[in-house]
Structure 1
């Protein structure tokens, strides 16, 4: 299942994220802001548990999140989405999956995996700014499931229809939240119109 979030403020910020004139600093800030907006939508169905608290005025029953939440950025571009999610969910734990796309085969190559232990039926939020062919996303989901993470949400800012289809065919149980579904992939498997290489624009390595 995938959902393209159409909130006007999100779409406004996305227009600046795509713009090639946007500086690296602005790009990083926009990545964080858009990620935060997507996360609100992605976590809208998280279960809550009633707890009794004391306000300065009286006792009351409030609601708190029951699930353990694990944020998993796909290195390296996914790191640009991490800090804002840690601010939003301070109790979240963090794992990392390192994948790169082979320039010749266009297939994902794993080079680093570090995940926290599974506890309390965790929600894993897999973050990567771009969902292009879906190969890296599928590989990351495979790794998460091998480690016992089965409740998986993907937050990706720009997606290609080819990638969405591939991920949904491989893992129909995974929910995908994106800010945009673009036209297609070009011959080099880049998203069109896209926003360029997110990692290069985050880290200034262009």
Structure 2
């Protein structure tokens, strides 16, 4: 797995505001969308394109367009939804699928409770959206799910990642014969005893949408 920690002053600035406990939900959502658009620029560096000729007001010009089948964006519910609009700003023609996964707070193991994805992902580039790569269990299960359906190129986009989670994903995907890239705005210090990223930014879902009991 290739890991890319985005290094840009605007990314660092927006991430700092997201970390601040005093940032309210509306501001958090807006900044998360803006940050994801910046990350999407890095994440789509290897998006597949094909040559095309267009007619300008002056002459013909050679260019490129996104190849078919179109990329598939897969937000992990519910927190990943807060990243979807930012990704779609850069890839408006991409298709969107949904994968509902939740971490068991006792076992820290991810459990799948819903999915809305094509049965056949052969030849598809997939972009997985999940704000936090903590223990790594959710991302491993999501990637395994997509690989089993035929995806042949997967990029995960996260706001933050923990070293333990990155290591776990690398170990679990060592035998997966599909290119996997992680693009993140920050690689933090560690996980605490509850599996939360330190210093992190708290629970991304709660900060995006409020606490839902």
> TM-score band, normalised by the shorter chain?
over 0.9
Q: Secondary structure at the match of 1:63?
A: strand
2:124 matches 1:122? yes
Q: 1:83 aligns with which of 73, 82, 85?
A: 85
Q: 1:159 and 1:100 mapped to 2: Cα distance?
A: 17
Stretches of structure 2 that go unaligned for 5 or more consecutive residues are none
Aligned residue for 2:194?
A: 188
Deviation string 1:168-205 (CA, Å, 9 cap, x unpaired) is 11224311000100000000000000000000010022
2:39 paired with 1:38? yes
Aligned length: 206
Q: 1:119 to 1:161 in 2, by over 3 A?
A: closer
CA RMSD after TM alignment: 1.4
Question: C-alpha distance in 2, partners of 1:15/1:85?
Answer: 20
What secondary structure sits across from 1:77 in the alignment? coil
Deviations 1:62-85 (A, max 9, x none): 121225200000111000011222
- Aligned with 1:152 (options 143, 151, 154): 154
Task: Indicate the residue corresponding to 1:134 in structure 2.
Answer: 136
* Equivalent pair of 1:31/1:81 in contact (CA under 8 Å): yes
Provide runs of 4+ in structure 1 moved above 4 Å: none
Mapped partners of 1:147, 1:119: distance in 2: 5
Query: 3-state SS of the aligned residue for 2:159?
Result: strand
Whether 1:4 and 2:5 are equivalent positions in the alignment is yes
Q: Secondary structure at the match of 2:80?
A: helix
Mean CA deviation greater in 87-96 or 183-192: 87-96
Question: Which residue is equivalent to 2:111?
Answer: 109
Equivalent positions of 1:55-66 (< 5 A) are: 55-66=56-67
Q: TM-score, normalised by structure 1?
A: 0.95
Contact 1:160 1:184 in 2 (8 A): yes
